[in-house]
Chains A and B, each alone.
Chain A
Amino acid sequence: MFAADFEYYRAGSVAEARELLAAHPGAKLLAGGHSLIPLLKLRLAAPAAVVDIGRIGELHGISNGGGALHIGALTTHAEIAASAAVNAGAEALAEAASQIGDPAVRNRGTIGGNVAHADPASDLPTVLAALGATFTVSGPDGERSLAAADFFQGMMATALGEHDILTAVNVPAAGSGSGSAYVKFSHPASRYAVVGAAAAVTGAGGTCAGASVAVGGATAVPVRCASVEAALAGRALSADAIAAAAAAAGSDFGDDLLGDVFASGEYRKAVAPVYVQRALTAAAERAG
């Protein structure tokens, strides 16, 4: 298929990109193109203008400082999956990035584009919610930082305003005695998460000092599973304790479940504990 006509602008800097957004109401940002271009080709989106931010160097790359990983919005999934820093400090993120789509998608798709698109079946939002990531946004009033719970607002909806640009994602780097993991049930066609579970565990000496768990795919935005986290806190990280805690995962989902011809909401909710359990088990092992 062919996209409807649009004007194309390439921005050289974040500031220029913001100016272009302001000058062209309704314009869409283009980064890796793996969300926007399919929509354009199917004519599900027909913006008058597209602002290409793909070559803005300052948005690219991973750095480590102040106990956090700073991941530029244009960093690709492949770069994240291969990054030593991410693999050391946020295993779940590397694990999720390595499972997105296929190599071609991972080589082009970016973390910024992924989270800004906010597909409920996407992998990274779930992991970022579990890891307590923050999102740096450059807007008309300067720069601001948002937590995952504030950034993801609904299906395909984020806190990004029309003139905002997501510039970086910051992930607290895990210390020793911590581990994280992401386990997903891929849709056999799209490879998006039917259910994706991310878990981070701090557990020196085999006792859970803290756990954070998020599940994506079953709800419009990733759900932090507070019941699971509470059930596990202070407990020995045994297989039984993990299984018992994970069993509560569905109770945090609420009533608005996502379902389709392949998997109903009821099913997603019912099997979520299995994936939470697997993610917790892997995370606990890594926490050592």
Chain B
Amino acid sequence: MSSRIFGSGIRRREDPRLITGSATYTHDIVLPGMVHAVMLRSSHAHARITRIDTEQAKAAPGVLAVYTGADIEGALQPMPCAWLLPDSDLKIAAYPCIASDVVRYTGDIVAVVVAEQPSQGYDALDLIEVDYEPLPSVTDPEAAAADGAPQLHADIEGNQAFHWTVAGGDADAAFAEAEASGVVIKERILQQRLIPNAMEPRGAVAQYSRATGELTLWNTTQNPHILRFLCSVVTGIPEDKLRVIAPEVGGGFGSKIAAYPADFVTVFCSKQLGRPVKWIETRSENYQATTHGRDHVQDVELAATKDGKITGLRCTVHAGMGAYLSTAAPGIPTILHGLMLSGCYTIPALKEDVYGVYTNGVPVEAYRGAGRPEATFMLERLIDMLAGELGMDPADVRRRNFIPKFDDGHKVITTLNYDSGDYPGALDKLLEHTGYAGLRAQQAAGPVNGKYLGLGLSSYVEICGLGPSQVAGAIGFQGGLWESAIVRFHPTGKVHVFIGASPHGQGEETTFAQIVASEIGVSSDDVKIFHGDTDATPMGWGTYGSRTTAVGGAALAVAVRKIRDKAKVLAAHLLEASVDDMEYEDGKFFVKGSPDKAKTIQDIALMANVAWDLPEGMEAGLEASTFYDPPNFVFPYGAHLAVVEVDTATGDVELKGYTALDDCGPQINPTIVEGQVHGGVVQGIGQALWEGAAYDDSGQLVTGSMLDYALPRADRLPPIDVISTVTRSPHHPLGVKGIGEAGTIASTAAVYNAVMDALKPLGVKRVDMPFTPERVWRAIQDAKGA
């Protein structure tokens, strides 16, 4: 492997088109005869529709059609849920693309207007008359599970979508013993509802041909191949007549995994009218109807000995699912959460009950980290509380409980087999790099001008590179989780790569070219990566769960190695040598000891393509394809430190410093890794300090715009110090893991712990996220009073 390009922080080739505005997003697709769909969404969180009158809207200028739930009857199947969580009493509520009798959240689609111009569509929306009979609503997941709560779905008792458990060891015995002779720490954690806020809102362009029965769907999706399948299920258009294109997609963070009713309503409109139809959501609509994340109420307890050794963990989680189950929703607070509960630590016994609960909110889906931030948070918070209880430094409690260094598999209590890791090494390096001991000394000197310093650690391990397809089947995921790649050498030695994954901002067009270049000695500039078009690329399961490099990158490496093998045989033939005598180095094939008489990969590409002189039985061309199904997940890990200052006069929290140590294995492009860490860390900080979707008592989204929903801003963030260690995954062809979600998984807990550390001398025990100044200030006032 060439060391020059693998590991080089070359610039992202995606950026010139992105930063000059010349990229083509779904909204940029303009087709002859195209018309525009606009959705009428419910203004009530829960109500019965008693009447809809669309006559005036139908007569409005430019309006071609108005459709309601009655019109799609039989034409659009209900929205499918694609993660059928086993052994969980899963109850999937009917999720119509257009609500016809009851609306269950303020984004439910009630009607669609198709007009020549979008503005005409919006004008016509105001002319649709809908009579609602309001029903009581509930948006808090715990309240929704309580007796007497408003019931969302007639056939689903207690709003319970599922009840999933994970257990290992004898947790109850561990707690009995800790009650008698150790310590038990209890906490209630609210993982507030978050809005993903991809830079590009969602949208679709559907072009149905009545002549051929074929549909092309441009869509803001993270996984076009899955969408093609789901679109076929919902619309009845057979998969072979369906082409899904994910053009440039401006971020997703999980919110573009799911299939959405609006996408299929757009398809329906195109089919009905025989014209291309575009639907693009507004930012307000994005907040109202594109999936949210988190929304857990967690009751957690930790059992430990008096010298800080963890003996058990028990938790009950009420996970808000929103009004319906989104595509992958059931797997997020369960498989991706519960199986990671023991984190970086040896925990001999644990037990968790997760209740998925229907509420009158936007459906909840994966959001960067997806289940793992919620798991990391509960564990890291409890460990800090344990440290406080025992008067130990939080770093020491972590060290006391870490899984020792391992490099080829370690089975944890939840049955997962971690691949490789050195958690103590990561923490030690972090503490040394940040001068942790000095910071503690500074803190011990006391507050300055009423400002208290706080330090927060977060050690994490995450599961990503989803995953072995056999496991996918066992955990109810309605698909495989392998990835594919086709590598095609052209006669001039230039390379086209076709992948099934669908990058949407992560930079894999750059890193995947680096993989090819490093594996076969071409320039990365000679490699073009194609993705995001189901007609042009091989099947793949999409980009989420930090899996694209971990799984798709592996597929690519394997495919390129197949090319290398074939090239070697051809080179041996052309050099009239035995294959066994051939050597390969940096794109050159030569007989041992004669590097000057080498055949370059470009020579081989030409000879393979013209096929004038091939060895007996060799096919022409230089192309390989792979379907790579990983033998295991990968488990990146790291340790983060946040330093905050809390102004006791106002409750304002200032993040003074942040250091992220991440181990994602060998880094293909350190600049891109750093970018992913920055983005991920900031999103996690956002949850701790600023973000939170709030509904009022009637189920209206109070934080309905960026005027109210506070996203992180650069001027309130310190420089983020990014460092790393490198631990190879033993089972991955390149040893790499994943980095897309790491920052988010670690940083919320680090910042939370830092703020609580700062508030400790003031006697503050808990504050709900986000740490708005008022919440912090009130907690200080209450502690003073207590």
Which residues in A have some Cβ–Cβ distance to B below 8 Å? 1-2, 4-5, 42-43, 185, 187-190, 260-264, 267, 270-271, 274
Contact = CB atoms under 8 A, between A and B. Distances in A.
Contacts of A271: 649-651, 773, 777
A5 B123 CA distance: 9
B282 A1 contact: yes
Given A261-B702, A261-B703, A185 B773 contact: yes
18 contacts: A1-B122, A2-B118, A42-B284, A187-B710, A188-B716, A189-B690, A190-B707, A260-B708, A261-B694, A262-B710, A262-B774, A263-B772, A264-B774, A267-B773, A267-B774, A267-B777, A271-B777, A274-B649
Contact of A189 (B122, B711, B773): B711
Contact of A4 (B123, B651, B772): B123
B709 interface: yes
B14 interface: no
B777 A261 contact: no
Given A2-B122, A185-B773, A189-B711, 5 more contacts: A1-B122, A189-B706, A260-B708, A261-B708, A271-B777
Contact of B119 (A2, A42, A190): A2
B683 to A, nearest CB: 15
Contacts of B652: 185
A267 B707 CA distance: 20
Contacts of B716: 188
B122 A188 contact: no
A264 B716 CA distance: 22
Interface string B438-478: 00000000000000000000000000000000000000000
Given A1-B282, A2-B119, A188-B716, A270 B777 contact: yes
B713 interface: yes
A263 B774 contact: yes
Give the interface centre of A43, A262, A271 by most chain B CB atoms within 10 Å: A262
Interface in B249-286: 282, 284
A84 to B, nearest CB: 25
Nearest to A3: B119
A246 B132 CA distance: 52
B56 to A, nearest CB: 15
Contacts of A263: 772-774
A262 B713 CA distance: 17
B656 interface: no
Contacts of A1: 122, 282, 284
B186 interface: no
Interface in B666-691: 689-690
Nearest to B652: A185
Interface string B228-264: 0000000000000000000000000000000000000
Contacts of B122: 1-2, 43
A4 B711 CA distance: 29
Give the interface centre of B652, B689, B694, B772 by most chain A CB atoms within 10 Å: B772
Contact of B708 (A42, A190, A264): A190
Interface of B: 118-119, 122-123, 126, 282, 284, 649-652, 689-690, 694, 702-703, 706-711, 713, 716, 772-774, 777-778
Contacts of B123: 2, 4-5
Given A1-B284, A42-B284, A189-B709, A267 B118 contact: no
A188 B708 contact: no
A186 to B, nearest CB: 9
Nearest to A275: B650
Contacts of B651: 271
A288 B694 CA distance: 47
A5 B61 CA distance: 12
A187 B773 CA distance: 10
A42 B283 CA distance: 11
B112 to A, nearest CB: 16
Nearest to B647: A274
Contacts of B118: 2
A1 B773 CA distance: 33
Given A263-B774, A267-B778, A271-B649, A188 B690 contact: yes
Contacts of B777: 267, 270-271
Contacts of B774: 262-264, 267
B710 A189 contact: yes
Nearest to B711: A189
Contacts of B689: 188
Return the 8 tightest CB-CB contacts between A and B, nearest first: A188-B710, A189-B710, A2-B119, A267-B774, A190-B707, A274-B649, A271-B650, A2-B122
A188 B713 contact: yes
Contacts of A190: 707-708
B650 A274 contact: yes
Contacts of B282: 1
B649 A262 contact: no
A267 B702 CA distance: 19
A4 B707 CA distance: 22
Contact of A262 (B126, B706, B772): B772
Contacts of A262: 708, 710, 772, 774
A97 to B, nearest CB: 17
Nearest to A192: B707
A194 to B, nearest CB: 8
Contacts of B713: 188
A2 B711 CA distance: 24
A2 B282 CA distance: 10
Contacts of B711: 189
A102 to B, nearest CB: 9
Contacts of B690: 188-189
A263 B119 CA distance: 36
Nearest to B690: A188
Nearest to B696: A261
Nearest to A267: B774
Contacts of A274: 649-650
A270 to B, nearest CB: 7
A81 to B, nearest CB: 16
Given A262-B772, A264-B774, A189 B708 contact: yes
A217 to B, nearest CB: 13
Contacts of A189: 690, 706-711
A185 B716 CA distance: 13
A42 B713 CA distance: 24
Nearest to A5: B123
A2 B649 CA distance: 43
B214 to A, nearest CB: 32
Contacts of A185: 650, 652, 773
Nearest to A1: B282
A261 B282 CA distance: 23
A216 to B, nearest CB: 16
A43 B126 CA distance: 10
Contacts of A5: 123
A260 B703 CA distance: 11
Contacts of A4: 123
A75 B713 CA distance: 27
A43 B38 CA distance: 15
A259 to B, nearest CB: 9
A190 B706 CA distance: 7
A262 B122 CA distance: 31
B552 to A, nearest CB: 36
B45 to A, nearest CB: 16
Contacts of A43: 122, 126
B49 to A, nearest CB: 23
B120 to A, nearest CB: 9
Contacts of B650: 185, 271, 274
Contacts of B772: 262-263
A4 B60 CA distance: 14
Nearest to A264: B774
Contacts of A270: 777
Contacts of B126: 43
B121 to A, nearest CB: 9
Give the interface centre of B122, B650, B652, B777 by most chain A CB atoms within 10 Å: B650
A5 B772 CA distance: 40
